[in-house]
Structure 1
Amino acid sequence: MPTENKPNAPLQVERSTVTKLVISGAPNLDPITVFLEDLAPCKGKITVSCWDKSWTAYWGGMWDGLSIGQFFCELNTSYIIGYFDQAMKSRQFSGEAIANKAQRIVLKERRLFCYDQDEARELFDEAEDLRDSPSIDHLHGAHGELMTKLFGGEWWRLTNDSTEPNPDYIYLERIILAVQQALRQEQHQEAE
């Protein structure tokens, strides 16, 4: 049950030590701001900001004897990205890839005489329109008939390889690598 605050009652304030780093000079990245907070043994929090985006992670079970900065350097980027943004995937749907796949199928079917020249030309041109599709859901609504004709009744199951690298994932991965490099550099300088 929440405690009631009296109008003039003093607020409880805790003070902690936070390390702030500003990292610049990383190739093709804006300056990166990092806040590191060691909260207790084996517990730490990190916030990473670059341009207009920020990511935060808290670990309540870090390895003994490591600061949050040291712990962060020991982790691989995909694990960190999972903490920063659970929904982010390394690959994303690609209208470009699905259009290329559809056109290859049309050409293959034409060579096997499944389509005459005019029908193949029409399907090939329709497949070109798939390039602008932002998602599987869009394909269902806008191009479902074409997709069924080319790929069969459960065509959405065959689109797993119609992806491309996710630029947001690559961007965050580059930021994490720059932060790890800067933290290692800091740790090396402190050790000297």
Structure 2
Amino acid sequence: MPTENKPAEPLKIERSTVTKLVITGAPRLDPITVFLEDFGRRDCPTESDPSYQTAQGKITINCWDNSWNAYWGGMGPRTVAEFVADCDWHYILNCLDRGISSTVFSGDALHALAKKCIVQRRRQQTGRHEWELGELSKDEARELWRDIDELRGIESANECWHQSRLLTELFGEEWHYPVGDKAVEENHKFTYLQRVVEAVQEALRQEQPQQLAG
């Protein structure tokens, strides 16, 4: 039997409120465009309040050729602007770029760490530091000093395994601990995003008194 064509169900359409802000004048930053989108409230019953609802919202931030966004499904009674303004910048930054760290591996930092290790081990200063291995002879120090130039070219922590022999001679079998903790430099992407987040939060806090007055 031929199947009957069922009438198409109507599309579901939901409206949200979007606010656009353009922030200029932030130190060392290009103009920042911010889109704040409030999706209304959703049911979030609790034992004390079965009818409790929480707000949902999304923020999108553009600065030069960078873009970040984050969504929150449990903002309590606040709008997304109020929520972002109220939160700590560390939290907002991590939501915009999850997993980003304030430091990043550096081949130059590893080279400097290796030099420090050789000097301190050669001068028998191991007891005052955390190097796993002990004193170096003059010849051993000279040979290691020549070899560590290779470390400058390492671009990521994973590439360190290609220099495992040299790093073991410097720092011992557990070389990945000092390398992971100390062969780092400032992550400029993190610092940049921090300045963006702080500028956005400052602008949102300035907006709130105006909205209340209006």
Which category of TM-score, normalised to the shorter sequence, fits these structures?
0.7 to 0.9
- Unaligned 5+ residue runs, structure 2? 1-5, 42-54, 125-134
Alignment match of 1:114 (pick from 136, 140, 158): 136
Alignment match of 2:204 (pick from 155, 169, 183): 183
Give SS of 1:29's match: coil
Q: After TM superposition, what 4+ stretches of structure 1 lie above 6 angstroms from structure 2?
A: none
Percent identity (aligned) = 45
What are the residue-to-residue correspondences of 1:1-192 with 2, within 5 Å? 12-41=12-41, 42-64=55-77, 66-112=78-124, 114-116=136-138, 118-141=139-162, 143-159=163-179, 160-192=181-213
Give SS of 2:34's match: strand
Tell me the TM-score normalized by structure 1. 0.85
- Cα distance in 2 for residues equivalent to 1:162 and 1:128: 15
Shift of residue 186 of structure 1?
A: 1.2
Name the CA shift for 1:5/1:28 in 2 (closer, same or farther; >3 Å). farther
Shift of residue 5 of structure 1?
A: 9.4
Give SS of 2:182's match: coil
- Cα distance in 2 for residues equivalent to 1:5 and 1:110: 84
Aligned residues: 184
Shift of residue 13 of structure 1?
A: 3.9
Give the letter for the 1:58 counterpart: Y
State whether residues 95 and 130 of structure 1, in contact with CA within 8 Å, keep that contact through their aligned partners in structure 2.
yes
Name the CA shift for 1:12/1:61 in 2 (closer, same or farther; >3 Å). closer
Name the CA shift for 1:5/1:172 in 2 (closer, same or farther; >3 Å). farther
Shift of residue 76 of structure 1?
A: 1.1
Name the CA shift for 1:181/1:115 in 2 (closer, same or farther; >3 Å). same
- Cα distance in 1 for residues equivalent to 2:103 and 2:137: 33
State whether residues 103 and 128 of structure 1, in contact with CA within 8 Å, keep that contact through their aligned partners in structure 2.
no
Shift of residue 10 of structure 1?
A: 7.2
Give the letter for the 1:50 counterpart: C
- Cα distance in 2 for residues equivalent to 1:169 and 1:40: 31
Larger Rg: 2
Shift of residue 151 of structure 1?
A: 0.6
